[in-house]
């Protein structure tokens, strides 16, 4: 299966923020950047701040926002794949080492954004010793690129082309609801 592999996109426009709100069904919290875009152009992974606006620590750096992708990942989670992956971590030292490196890279990127003592050393998705959330691992794989998270790469490879049916959110319709002009011209939200 051929999956999107675009690089991280640090621009976050008012339109992107509005699209993510429609994808999530609620206003987005603490998003800092679009970490990955679906081939349709919509964000499918956002990078979040390590602390929510209300002060709550938030360890999930890469948040999968596309509802189609999230649904497909949920199907994988219900298949028992997370249990199988966790078992393999206990028997495959190379996989365990690569997963540990993914954990360290995740922490290093989050630390670049800001230090939050309450979550220091804690990544997400179960890293580095188990798998408890494929959504996080797929988000990390999409945002950081192939090879950054071996189990995220595996889960991503097992997903159908969630973008094939077209955009999950009609960008033009969302844009028409935004105040002002030129909402998608790269101005920060």
Give the pLDDT confidence of 96-127 residue by residue, as tens digits. 999 999 999 999 999 999 999 999 999 999 99
Give the pLDDT confidence of 123-164 residue by residue, as tens digits. 999 999 999 999 999 999 999 999 999 999 999 999 999 999
Q: How far apart are CA 111 and CA 132, in angstroms?
A: 22
Q: How far apart are CA 92 and CA 154, in angstroms?
A: 15
CB 62 within 8 A of CB 9: no
- Please tell me the predicted confidence (pLDDT) of residue 145: 96
Q: pTM score, two decimals? A: 0.89
Calculate what percentage of the chain has a pLDDT beyond 90. Answer: 88
**DSSP strand E in the chain: where?**
31-37, 43-48, 62-64
């Amino acid at each position: 299966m051929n999956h999107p592999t675009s690089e991280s996109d640090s621009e976050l426009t008012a339109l992107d923020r509005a699209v993510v709100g429609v994808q999530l069904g609620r206003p987005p919290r603490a998003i800092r950047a679009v970490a990955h875009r679906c081939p349709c152009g919509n964000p499918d992974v956002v990078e979040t701040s390590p602390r929510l606006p209300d002060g709550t620590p938030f360890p999930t750096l890469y948040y999968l926002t596309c509802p189609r992708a999230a649904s497909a990942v949920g199907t994988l989670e219900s298949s028992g794949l997370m249990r199988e992956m966790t078992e393999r971590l206990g028997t495959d030292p190379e996989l365990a080492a690569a997963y540990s490196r993914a954990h360290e890279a995740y922490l290093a990127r989050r630390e670049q954004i800001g230090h939050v003592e309450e979550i220091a050393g804690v990544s997400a998705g179960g890293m580095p010793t188990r798998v408890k959330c494929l959504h996080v691992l797929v988000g990390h794989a999409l945002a950081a690129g192939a090879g950054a998270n071996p189990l995220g790469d595996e889960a991503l490879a097992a997903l159908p082309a969630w973008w094939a049916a077209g955009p999950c959110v009609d960008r033009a319709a969302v844009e028409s609801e935004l105040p002002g002009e030129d909402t998608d011209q790269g101005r920060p939200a």
